[in-house]
Chain A
Amino acid sequence: MDLSKYLELYLTEGREHLAALRSGLPPEGPPNAAAVNEIFRHAHSLKGMAASMDFECTSSLSHTLESLLGLWRQGRPINREHIDAVVRTLDVLESLMDSVQRDGSDVSGREAAAASGARLQAMISDEPPPSEGPEEPATEPSPSRLPVEGPVPDDLSARLSVGIDPASPLPAARLLVVLQKIRENCGTVRMEPDIVAIQSRNLKSAVFNLLPSPQLKDLARSLRDLPEVVQVSLDVPVRASTAGKSGPTLVPSIRVRSEDLDGLLNQTGELLNHLNQFEAGLTQQDKRKNRFWLEAHRSRMDRLFDQVLSIRLVPFDALVERLGRTVRELADRLSKRVLLEVEGADQKVDQGLLEKLLDPLAHLVRNAMDHGMESAEDRAAAGKNEAGLIKLEISREAEALIIKVEDDGRGLDPEVIRQTAVERGLLTPQDASSLDRDKLFRLLTTPAFSTRKEVTEVSGRGVGLDVVRSAVESLGGHLEIESTLGKGSRFLLVVPSAVTLTSVLIFGWRDNSARFGLPASQVKHIYPLSSHAMTWSGDRRLLQVGNELLPVIPWRLGPVGRDGVGLRLSVQGRDRILLVSEVFQGENVVIHPWGSPLEMVPGWMGGALLSTGEVAYVLDGRIIAKYDEKESHALSD
């Protein structure tokens, strides 16, 4: 803004304020409230004008003057010494006006201003501290002047957390604006902590407890557009709490060490295996005779197992709060405005799993903020909202937990990845140019690969996606990357949602004594090959099912003849056929993720102990279905 055109107005009006201050100075003795308010106002106006003109010396001296006059406003007796100091300060302010008139700036009066300010400051410090309220006790809001919260219903189970720009000059007032906006939209709301605590502790974020409603998503979106709001995350419980309220319990909850829960879970799992094995050893006749007993026992057992598992479940929330803090701290450090939008934080996750997810997720969020997000200027140039958006979405699909971390930043540049791979000797130029996007992105997850040249304080050298990948794979899951240049990136963490009982289809290949499994939820259909025709399209084999031609996955661990079976796997809307020799049975099992180093092999979920006492190797259909014709893969070796 060109300030010079306001110069004349500043001088005229500024001198008027000084004159009014001089003529309005009260006599010694107890102050007259109206008269003191009047001169306080002139000092205050002068301060605001000088600050607007960037006249540092003037604004800071008039601020100190305002503080001294503030003492009089509090009713402190006015003494001769005070009046002298104020008069001398007015002289200095007048000479600063002269400097401005002469040089267009007040810097030449800096020393005089500093000396005068120090004298005033000494007087302010000599005064005994006020009983309460520093500057404006006459108008300090007492609790009764603040918005009064009526009685609120208990079911404020939706939580909207809002973080504001750390640079905000009046953060508590900003949060109150947010509160009023929410109240306008939803009526009942409770802010935590309350406004008094927010103001006194100078907090930059608050949680708003609301009645769950489908409109909250729109509200969260609209809040993101408010000035100075840098983070909004919404957490709506999927279902209202239906837990019956029984009478008060003496001890409503107890703490248990997580290892104890692990032990309990293992014991329960073993019991279940014993039952499976016992049942498998019975003759058909015995089974029939004891059918009722066996079924009753099994259902009890399944329920026990579920109950033990559910005790270990904690809402994803805890982690979201940590990530929210990471975002706020980084936004501050990198001077980027970034909003974190969270969906599905009420999903319950095994506590052990949650802990292991913290690092990879924090890593992805840091990456998104440091590498993914452009500077505000670049974003504006690209026609994007100045504030970047990171979406964290937690959902569940069959026995998998799916965590999506999406940003609207610059996206991954396949060309840069190609170049880097060639520079590092990882690929020949020919190979690099023929690699498709999926494979290029997968290259990013190899150790020490980086698309960024400078080392940044935040995420160090390299994007570190190899760390994320190995963490996810050690949980028996996998990492998927999608990205559009200029639009943003999406990282999908798919992990088994914990030790649970999974219904698994057991099958095998001829000439291979091992048993294999696939989660039953991943197998859509089983087709006997004897009644379905197989055709070729180029070098791609297809299975004919009705009018459909389904691509056959070119991977198996043994020969499959006409007596074999096709398993229909469905992944992201694309169906593929896995050929196997024989299907044995379905069974409810616990899938144990492999330990190191087998965890590094993608496509395997883990091992499961079958009722026969054998171990089944459980495959992940989501990965297997993606093996295509030309890709040579560790699995096919």
Chain B
Amino acid sequence: MPHKVLIADDAMFMRAMIRDILVNSNRYEVVGEASNGQESVDLYRKLQPDLVTMDIVMPQMDGIEATKEILRANSKARVVMCSALGQEALVIESIAAGAKDFIVKPFSAEKVLKVLDAVISG
């Protein structure tokens, strides 16, 4: 059974890339896509995915706030932050807030899967 993933990113382009990486691995299935923080929280509640990939910079509610919301709904939620270089402070803050791990753009399929696999099995 592939693990259910919710992708949160305001860029459709990024969502497409992550989706392809996940689906091609045959280990993950994308059950939902959110284009802002508030939507990711709503979809998380509705879909109860095994894992969320969360962009940090998003409109309406940023990824860090959305992560906190999700963790309030389920303290065991697995959220992996999507970050760019130069955002270390934000990533550190997200992890301190309860995100499990992070991936860094530009994404390589191998690295993304390694991180997600570790989070799923950890």
Flag if B95 contacts A180 (CB, 8 Å): yes
- Which chain A residue shows the least CB distance to B98? A180
Asked if A51 is at the interface of the complex by the 8 Å CB criterion, the answer is yes
Q: How many Å lie between the Cα of A6 and that of B18 in the bound state?
A: 12
Which stretch from A135-143, A454-462, A587-595, A624-632 is at the chain B interface? Answer: A135-143
> A37-45, A270-278, A463-471, A563-571: which lies at the B interface?
A37-45
Interchain CB contact under 8 A, A172 and B92: yes
Report whether B12 and A9 are in contact in the complex, using a CB–CB cutoff of 8 Å: yes
Q: Which of B44-97 contact A (CB under 8 A)?
A: 57-59, 64, 83-93, 95-96
Q: In this assembly, does B120 line the interface, its C-beta being within 8 Å of a C-beta of chain A?
A: no
Known: A48-B11, A141-B89. A227 touches B111 (CB 8 A): yes
Taking a contact as CB atoms under 8 Å apart, the answer to whether A170 and B93 are in contact is no
What B residues does A13 contact at CB under 8 A?
11-13
Within 8 Å CB of B31, what residues of A?
none
Q: Taking A51-B84, A140-B89 as contacts, is the C-beta distance between A6 and B13 under 8 angstroms? A: yes
Determine whether A481 belongs to the interface, using a CB cutoff of 8 Å to chain B: no
Q: Mark A496-512, 1 if CB is under 8 A from B, else 0.
A: 00000000000000000
Q: Contacting B84 at CB < 8 Å: which of A9, A10, A47, A173?
A: A47
B residues contacting the other copy or chain, number (CB 8 A) = 40
Q: Tell me which residues across on chain A come within 8 A of B114, comparing CB atoms.
A: 227
- Which residues of chain B from 13 to 65 have a CB within 8 Å of any chain A CB? 13-14, 16-17, 20-21, 57-59, 64
A140–B114 CA distance with the chains assembled, in angstroms: 28
In A550-577, the 8 Å CB interface with B consists of: none
Task: Tell me, yes or no, whether A597 is within 8 Å of chain B by CB.
Answer: no
A466 to chain B, nearest CB (A): 41
Q: A139-B89, A170-B83 given as contacts; is B96 within 8 A of A49 (CB)?
A: no
Interface positions, chain A 164-205, Cβ under 8 Å from B, are 169-170, 172-173, 176-177, 180-181, 195, 199
Annotate A19-55 by CB proximity to B: 1 below 8 A, 0 otherwise.
Answer: 0000000000000000000101100110111011010
Nearest CB to that of B10 among chain A residues? A45
- Residues from 37 to 75 in A contacting B, C-beta threshold 8 Å: 38, 40-41, 44-45, 47-49, 51-52, 54, 63
In Å, the complex CA distance between A366 and B55 comes to 41
Judging by beta carbons under 8 Å apart, are B59 and A226 in contact?
no
**Distance (Å) between the CB of B113 and the closest chain A CB?**
10
Interface residues of chain A: helix, strand, loop or mixed (majority): helix
Q: Does A146 contact B (CB under 8 A)?
A: yes
A499-B58 Cα distance, complex, nearest whole Å = 67
> Do the beta carbons of A10 and B96 come within 8 Å of each other?
no
Given A44-B57, A136-B87, A227-B118: A49 in contact with B92 (beta carbons within 8 A): no
The yes or no answer to A254 lying at the interface (CB within 8 A) is: no
Note all chain B residues with C-beta closer than 8 A to A288.
Answer: none
Report the minimum CB–CB distance from B78 to chain A (whole Å). Answer: 12
* A227 and B80 alpha carbons, distance in the complex (Å): 13
Complex Cα distance, B20 from A51, in Å, reads 17
CA distance A38 to B36 in the complex (A): 13
Contacts of A181 in B (CB 8 A): 122
User: How many residues from A make CB contacts under 8 Å with B?
Assistant: 40
Q: Which of B85, B95, B106 contacts A52 (CB 8 A)?
A: B106
Asked if A141 meets B92 with Cβ closer than 8 Å, knowing A45-B10, A52-B17, the reply is yes
A114-141 CB mask vs B (1 if < 8 Å, else 0) is 0000000000000000000001100111
Q: Which residues of A contact B93 (CB under 8 A)?
A: 139, 141, 145-146
Query: Interface code A412-439, partner B: CB below 8 Å = 1, 0 otherwise?
Result: 0000000000000000000000000000
Q: Bound complex: CA of A13 vs CA of B16, how far in Å?
A: 12
Best-buried of A13, A40, A47, A177 by chain B (most CB within 10 Å) = A177
Query: CA A172 – CA B105 in complex, angstroms?
Result: 17
Q: Which residues of A contact B111 (CB under 8 A)?
A: 227
CA distance A146 to B91 in the complex (A): 11
Which chain B positions have C-beta within 8 A of A44? 57, 84
A54 touches B12 (CB 8 A): no
Q: Please tell me which one of the listed residues A49, A52, A227 contacts residue B101 in the complex, with CB atoms under 8 A apart.
A: A227
| Residues of chain A within 8 A of B91, CB atoms compared | 170, 173
A225 within 8 A of B: yes
Q: Is the CB of B89 within 8 A of A49?
A: no
Residues of chain A within 8 A of B83, CB atoms compared: 170, 173
Chain B residues with Cβ under 8 A from A226's Cβ? 118
Contacts of A176 in B (CB 8 A): 92, 95-96
Q: Which residue of B lies closest to A174 (CB)?
A: B102
Q: How far is the CB of B14 from chain A (nearest CB, A)?
A: 7
The smallest beta-carbon distance between B116 and chain A, in angstroms, is: 9
The CA-CA distance from A277 to B87 in the complex, in Å, is 75
* Known A40-B57, A49-B14, A139-B90; 14 more pairs at CB < 8 Å: A1-B108, A41-B58, A45-B10, A48-B105, A49-B11, A52-B17, A52-B107, A135-B86, A139-B93, A173-B83, A177-B100, A180-B95, A180-B100, A199-B89
List 26 A-B residue pairs with CB atoms under 8 Å apart, sorted by A's residue number: A1-B20, A1-B109, A9-B13, A9-B16, A41-B10, A44-B57, A45-B14, A48-B11, A48-B14, A48-B105, A51-B106, A52-B105, A52-B106, A52-B107, A136-B87, A141-B89, A141-B96, A170-B85, A172-B92, A173-B92, A173-B95, A177-B100, A177-B102, A199-B88, A225-B118, A227-B114
Can you list the 5 inter-chain pairs with the closest CB atoms, starting with the nearest? A173-B91, A52-B106, A141-B93, A169-B104, A51-B106
